[in-house]
Amino acid sequence: MKEFFNVRQVKYEGPESINPASFKYYDANRKVAGKSMRDHLKFALSWWHTLCGDGADMFGRGTAEKTFGGKTGLEIYENKVYAGFEMMEKLGIGYFCFHDRDLAPEGRNLAETNENLDCIAAAVQKEMKRTGIECLWGTANCFTHPRYLHGAGTSPNADVFAFAAAQIKKAIDVTIALGGRGYVFWGGREGYETLLNTDVGFEQDNMARLMRMAVGYARGKGFKGDFYIEPKPKEPTKHQYDFDAASTLAFLFKYGLEKDFKLNIEANHATLAGHTFQHELRIARVNGVFGSVDANSGDSLLGWDTDQFPTSVYDAALCMYEVLKAGGFTNGGLNFDAKARRGSFTPEDIFYGYIAGMDTFAKGLLAADKMISDGRLEGFIADRYGSYRTGIGKDVVSGKATLETLEAYALKMGEAASNASGRQEMLESILNALIFNS
């Protein structure tokens, strides 16, 4: 078989290695808390950035070659399949995620577009069989084509809604055919530019209608995986309805979708919403809708979604802490929704990006495991709420207390007992030490 990358199998060489094409921390078979790193982390390749994104931005053309030697439309997309699987094999990545339009180009009409997709999906299926690599999740790209200029499920144009529905139906078919564990809704254009032309309530009702149709259809076809909403506050629209985890939760509960949907939390989307990555994961976890992760990072000096490969061990540690506390991934995993910078345009640069991301999360996993086994951080939190385990606090939690009984208690009390320090700096110092020593 033709080789696309002049890169050897990337191996674990340990933290002392100076070989940039090796893992320093990601040792796939190493056991952490009874499970291999491979099974904890469930790394996935993003088809769009890795095999399609050529570095084009608003001010400049592409800088990276992504035709993989193909001459015609379909030949290019078929070569992406072979290149993608070669890359995943060489990096030891077990999963991939895709949009319908990353896999195959649009034809002259929907029927031809669907044929293109079936043709490339067949090649993907063969490669999956050969390598044992699996599909983490699929999705429909309902944001690139000009027909979606006012949205897809939230478009004011019913014809566009119908087209989106047809596209999603096919994307679900392909996800099921590839054994995908999840199906993602990321509402890139499901929001608004101005309220002057927008019926917010109607648009959200329609989005929920489309999601219900998708659930009904997929479950009818035997899909047992999870649906995910991937929150993002803005970009490309000024305001996206799935702004952050909390607003997405409100949407899911309002429309009764919370049993089928979980959240796919992306680091750079969290920071765009003015939250930390950990905050978004925590909100998903404590509300029982933690599902999957789009691992990347933004740039603190830029106000848009830069989709950089994640290199902050600190953020990765806090992410993996939330993942471990959620009981680990079930259908989800860590999808690198990340791309090399425009100036890093060679194929090797993408390998270095994945290596950096995988090592960062391997170290993050080790640190998260330490955070839990060490027990000091969690012990501190448990103590902090200790007043609710006895006396009046216990009555509050059990539901026995009322405003009247609490008033009677307060009147007798004089002044409330003195507050304890929150010890933030001490806890931050403990966290640093745990990361350094992991």
Q: Which residues contribute to the site for ligand XUL (CB under 6 A)?
A: 99, 139, 184, 186, 230, 232, 266, 294, 305, 337
Task: Compute the least distance from the CB of residue 408 to ligand XUL, in Å.
Answer: 54
Closer to ligand XUL at the Cβ: 186 or 251?
Answer: 186
For residue 55, what are the CA distances in angstroms to 60, 144, 233, 244, 302? 8, 16, 23, 27, 17
Residues 6+ apart with CB under 8 A from 267: 277, 293, 294, 295, 296, 297, 298, 310, 315, 319
Task: Compute the least distance from the CB of residue 131 to ligand XUL, in Å.
Answer: 23
Q: Which does 114 bind (CB under 5 to 8 A by kind): Co ion, ligand XUL, none?
A: none
Q: Which does 139 bind (CB under 5 to 8 A by kind): Co ion, ligand XUL, none?
A: ligand XUL
Nearest to 138 by CA among 331, 296, 328: 331
Among 106, 190, 322, 337, binds Co ion (CB under 5 A): 337
Measured between alpha carbons, how far apart are the two ends of the chain, in Å? 41
Task: Compute the least distance from the CB of residue 402 to ligand XUL, in Å.
Answer: 47
Q: What is the largest CA-CA distance in the chain?
A: 84
Nearest to 152 by CA among 191, 108, 117: 191
Residues of 210-247 as b/e, b for ≥16 C-beta within 10 angstroms?
A: bbeebbeebeeeebebbbbbbbbbbeebeebbbbbbbe
Q: Which does 127 bind (CB under 5 to 8 A by kind): Co ion, ligand XUL, none?
A: none
Contact assessment for residue 114 and residue 170, using Cβ atoms and an 8 Å cutoff: yes
Q: Which stretch binds Co ion (CB under 5 A): 139-147, 207-215, 333-341, 420-428?
A: 333-341
- What residues between 188 and 217 interact with Co ion by CB under 5 A? none
Q: Tell me how far the alpha carbon of residue 80 is from its chain's centroid.
A: 22
Dihedrals phi, psi of 116, to nearest 5 degrees:
-55, -45
**Helix (H), strand (E) at residue 44:** strand 43-46
What's the number of CA atoms in the CB half-sphere (13 Å) around residue 380? Answer: 16
**C-beta nearest to ligand XUL: residue:** 186
Closer to ligand XUL at the Cβ: 186 or 192?
Answer: 186
Q: Does 294 help bind Co ion (rule: CB under 5 A)?
A: yes
| Cross-strand bridge partners of residue 264 | 292
Q: Tell me how far the alpha carbon of residue 90 is from its chain's centroid.
A: 23
Q: Which stretch binds Co ion (CB under 5 A): 27-35, 85-93, 263-271, 405-413?
A: 263-271
Q: Which does 190 bind (CB under 5 to 8 A by kind): Co ion, ligand XUL, none?
A: none
Nearest to 92 by CA among 162, 33, 7: 7
Task: Compute the least distance from the CB of residue 70 to Co ion, in Å.
Answer: 26
Closer to Co ion at the Cβ: 260 or 337?
Answer: 337
Task: Compute the least distance from the CB of residue 266 to ligand XUL, in Å.
Answer: 5
Site string for Co ion, 217-256 (x = CB under 5 A): ----------------------------------------
Residue 353 structure tokens? 């990006």
Q: Which stretch binds Co ion (CB under 5 A): 24-32, 164-172, 330-338, 348-356?
A: 330-338
Using DSSP's 3-state secondary structure scheme, residue 122 falls into helix
Dihedrals phi, psi of 227, to nearest 5 degrees:
-95, 145
Q: Does 266 help bind Co ion (rule: CB under 5 A)?
A: yes
Nearest to 45 by CA among 335, 286, 258: 335
Closer to Co ion at the Cβ: 266 or 280?
Answer: 266
d(CA 408, CA 178): 64
Q: Does 307 help bind Co ion (rule: CB under 5 A)?
A: no
Closer to ligand XUL at the Cβ: 4 or 309?
Answer: 309
- The catalytic residues are 99, 102
Q: Which does 232 bind (CB under 5 to 8 A by kind): Co ion, ligand XUL, none?
A: ligand XUL
Closer to Co ion at the Cβ: 335 or 360?
Answer: 335
Closer to ligand XUL at the Cβ: 100 or 260?
Answer: 100
Task: Compute the least distance from the CB of residue 280 to ligand XUL, in Å.
Answer: 13
Closer to ligand XUL at the Cβ: 23 or 191?
Answer: 191
Contact assessment for residue 99 and residue 141, using Cβ atoms and an 8 Å cutoff: yes
Task: Compute the least distance from the CB of residue 269 to Co ion, in Å.
Answer: 7
Task: Compute the least distance from the CB of residue 302 to ligand XUL, in Å.
Answer: 14
Contact residues for Co ion (CB under 5 A)?
Answer: 266, 294, 337
